[in-house]
Amino acid sequence: MCTPCCIAQLACCCGSAACSCCCKCCPKIKQSTGTRIMYALYFLLVTVLCAVMMSPTVEQALKENIPFYAEFCQTVNAGEDCKTLVGYAAVYKVCFGMACFFFFFCIFTIRVNNSTGCRAAVHNGFWLLKFIALVACCAGGFFLPNESTFLEVWRYIGAVGGFIFLLIQLMLLVEFAHRWNANWYSGVKYNRLWYAALAFVTLVLFSVGVGAVIFMGIFYTHPEACLLNKIFLGINGSLCLVVSLLAISPFIQKLQPNSGLLQPGVITVYVMYLTFSAFSSKPKEMVVIDGVNTTVCVFPFNSGTESDKKIVTGLGTVILFGCVLYSCLTSTTRRSSAALRVCRNTEPETERARCCFCFGDDTEEYDEEQTGSGQNVVYDEREGTIYSYAFFHFVFFLGSLYVMMTATNWFHYDNHKIEKLLDGSWSVFWVKMASCWV
């Protein structure tokens, strides 16, 4: 049973065959889904490597646990204790290689409309060769001349690309909210329980939003300090209220009949999350209380044990990676691409109410290939591509820049550590606050 699976994996790594798991009990997978998952794994692998490079804790563990670590660093000309392989400069070079990898494939797959051509075969297969190419691109960044000039120019390119990625993420959130409302509202005519579900979820979303405003009003404001927090909390809360009133106004209802309170509810929760994240990213303020310098307007658990800080940092890192991967994968579906004006959506606008509406409807009939003892693969791109290959790689290109800027704390990169991902800096504060207003 192992031989057919090994042959299938060899064809996947060195040929144009679609990738699949060796386990027969795994549910069938679409070719388009498997391809995007493989690119996401490449992206996640490099992202984890960047996190390791920015972590002094990992660097110290390598020194203590790897024999002949200093000799190895001198052998590969990486400097004393491999100093050139850690820090913000190393992250810039590695992300430069990953960005070049995805940008090349963006150019390479322009105007690919079906999966039968040689360019589509390269996009959907040859995973071992592409992995070697990715490693070579990341390693090549360490051999660029004029390092100081490169880092200065690449920093501003990364800032622009990272902010564009944030805008795409926000537009996808709006598209997600509209699709959620339209999908559940389509089930009202068949079952009134969908209307109850819409009302319940809307109530929960606005309750979370109001609770977040109260929470930040208590812990992130102070009578003698944190003036910016008071101003921006009032502005963002007022904007959420205005958006909610506009969504149910007759003028908007005429233009967008499916508009309701669910969409502003989703936007309100996300804006409150961004506001909380911006307040947490702002440098700490101190006031004199009873003759003692006291830090105010901080997360109430930050003053706890070191393990609490590690939990908060780890959770923030997981949320970051999750948002990046979600944006990269969902922005390339045909429906999302139409919402971003990348391509025209020719799918019919019929909706079937489902709880898990984010996933495609599996009612379509596609060719299915039996891969011996392994997982069955559904070839869903025989007649045409399911998503835009070029835009898919372009979003991952922007995601590479966003990860680079986030891991190095945007413009406050000096002496930054991945363990301080949630610590304060003004650049992160203003980027997140600008995202709220957008």
Beta bridge partner(s), residue 30: 378
Which burial class, exposed, middle or buried, applies to 148 when counting CB atoms under 10 A from its CB (0-12, 13-18, 19+)? exposed
| DSSP state, residue 377 | E
Q: Is 305 helix (H, G, I), strand (E, B) or coil?
A: coil
Q: How far apart are CA 310 and CA 419, in angstroms?
A: 7
Q: How far apart are CA 121 and CA 114, in angstroms?
A: 10
- H helical segments located in 141-261: 147-185, 193-219, 227-247, 250-255
| Identity of residue 186 | S
Q: How far apart are CA 433 and CA 311, in angstroms?
A: 24
Among candidate residues 432, 402, 435, 434, the one with its CA nearest the CA of residue 277: 432
Give the pLDDT score at 354: 65
Residues 102, 395 contacting (CB under 8 angstroms): no
Q: pLDDT of the chain along its 438 residues, tens only? A: 455 555 555 555 665 555 655 555 556 777 777 888 889 889 989 988 888 877 777 667 777 777 766 777 777 666 666 667 777 788 888 999 999 999 999 999 998 887 778 888 888 888 889 999 999 999 888 888 887 888 888 888 988 898 888 888 778 778 788 888 887 887 777 777 888 888 899 999 999 999 999 998 888 888 887 888 899 999 999 999 999 999 888 888 888 777 788 889 988 988 888 888 788 777 777 777 777 777 777 766 554 444 444 544 555 567 666 766 666 666 556 555 555 555 555 554 555 666 665 555 544 555 555 455 555 677 777 777 888 888 889 988 998 998 888 777 776 555 555 545 555 567 677 777 877 777
Contact residues for 121 (Cβ-Cβ < 8 A; gap 6+): 16, 115
